[in-house]
Amino acid sequence: IRAMSTVIPKVQYGFKLDNKLKKLVLHEDLPVPTPGPTDVLVKLTHVSLCHSDLHVLYDNLEIGDDFVMGHEISGEVAAIGDKVTHLDVGQKVVASGPDGCGSCAHCRTGADNDCIDSLVHGWFGLGKDGGYQQYLLVNRPQNLIKVPEGVPMEVASPITDAVLTPYHALKALNLNPASNILFVGCGGLGSSGLQIAKAFGATVTVVEKKDKARELAKALGADFVYETLPELIPVQSFDHCVDFVSVQKTFDICQKYVRSKGTVVPVGLGAAELKFNLSDLALREVRILGTFWGTSQDLVECLELVRKGLVKPQIYTIQPLKKLPEFVEKLRNNEYEGRAVFTP
Ligand code: NAD
Ligand code: ZN
Ligand code: ZN
């Protein structure tokens, strides 16, 4: 094993999910694992809070219990097994959250975000240990992606989801400069999605209920920004409607305003079930597209988009990780825009 010259501690702190208490519980005595020959130990530098964490904590998005949460992870290689050859000590990396196994039917096609093994054993910070701690043991080192020069580590962490998820969703829509699309919600994901859609050349209309987030949408180049869609916009106006909230109310806006043969993409996880109007959607041949996170290759591409300056993840604040519970409350009260990033 190769390791950093600085001493790696034996114990660390971290926040574990407790389903009964419905909260993140701070543990001061979590073990720092020792990597085996094919493993990598990552010293985490940054981790960011995602709205999905709230769904896990409060909305019965069930993914088990007793694991360290946090799924937007960046850090540097602290110790590395001798069989791992594509990384070295000190290398700056992000974790591809779905942590694909590399050998199931989905991983073989490149869809490692839909890994069959991870569906059973969990994704980083969602069902198995993730980033709300100081060190993370990774036993599928192919899922550590090098961070290119020019991408700061605090920016790298939200790229792994707040940029990756909308990128994966929008890639599937084959946007072009003639595309006219609707976004609902301009938070962590929506604000990156907007910049990605503009990079593809699309015309973007944003519907957002919060004043400050509407200001952000305008500043990031949205073509039209509304609190609610005005009457003068005809129904069936948009090629695609991307819902970064996905409660019935927002999904209904998307169903109504998508054009014939267009696509509704419920990226948000705001409701466990949504009703669609079958007769309407069938007659107009509308597609509803499920989308989950992004592939490890998408993540490489997202790092490149940010390096080139085409997308700037919106970072609201950078705080010590122990302040996480405070920001969970702030996010729950919709008190800030973009991502809160933490240093473990
Ligand atoms: P966020 O809290 O940062 O942003 C949500 C935004 O939506 C806020 O600006 C809020 O004001 C706005 N909003 C809420 N209700 C609204 C309404 N009724 N009308 C208009 N605007 C409204 O959240 P985020 O971290 O960007 O995540 C967005 C959603 O995406 C969450 O549901 C999250 O769980 C989900 N998500 C899904 C995936 C996936 O793979 N499908 C991955 C990551 C996150
Ligand atoms: Zn997330
Ligand atoms: Zn797999």
Q: Which residues line ligand 1 (CB under 6 A)?
A: 50-52, 55, 161, 165, 184-190, 207-210, 213, 244-245, 249-250, 267-270, 291-293, 331, 334
Ligand 1 atom index nearest CA of 168: 40
Nearest to 112 by CA among 293, 268, 290: 293
Please give the tally of structural domains in the chain. 2
Q: Are residues 62 and 182 in the same domain?
A: no
Q: Are residues 6 and 101 in the same domain?
A: yes
Angle at 162 between CA 183 and CA 196, to 5 degrees: 55
Structure tokens at 265: 């993409």
Q: Could you report the predicted ipTM of this complex, rounded to two decimals?
A: 0.99
Q: For 36-88, what is each residue's pLDDT tens digit?
A: 999 999 999 999 999 999 999 999 787 888 999 999 999 999 999 999 999 99
pLDDT score, position 62: 79
Q: Are residues 157 and 306 in the same domain?
A: yes
Structural domain that includes position 269:
173-288
Task: Identify the domain boundary among 254, 271, 288.
Answer: 288
Cα 152 to Cα 78, 174, 309, 314, distances in angstroms:
18, 29, 12, 13
Alpha carbon distance 140, 269 (integer Å): 27
Q: Are residues 7 and 155 in the same domain?
A: yes
For the chain, give the mean pLDDT.
Answer: 97
Q: Are residues 216 and 304 in the same domain?
A: no
Q: For 238-249, what is each residue's pLDDT tens digit?
A: 999 999 999 999
Q: Are residues 8 and 127 in the same domain?
A: yes
Confidence of residue 180 (pLDDT cuts 50, 70, 90): very high
Q: Are residues 279 and 319 in the same domain?
A: no
Q: Are residues 6 and 129 in the same domain?
A: yes
The answer, yes or no, to whether residue 6 has pLDDT greater than 80, is yes
Is 157 within the bounds of a domain?
A: yes
Nearest Cα residue to atom 15 of ligand 1: 245
Q: Which SS3 state, helix, strand or coil, does residue 190 take?
A: helix
Q: Are residues 308 and 284 in the same domain?
A: no
Ligand 1 atom index nearest CA of 189: 26
Q: Are residues 268 and 307 in the same domain?
A: no
Ligand nearest to the CA of 56: 1
CA dihedral 216, 218, 223, 227 (to 10 degrees): 70
Q: Are residues 27 and 46 in the same domain?
A: yes
Q: Are residues 129 and 220 in the same domain?
A: no
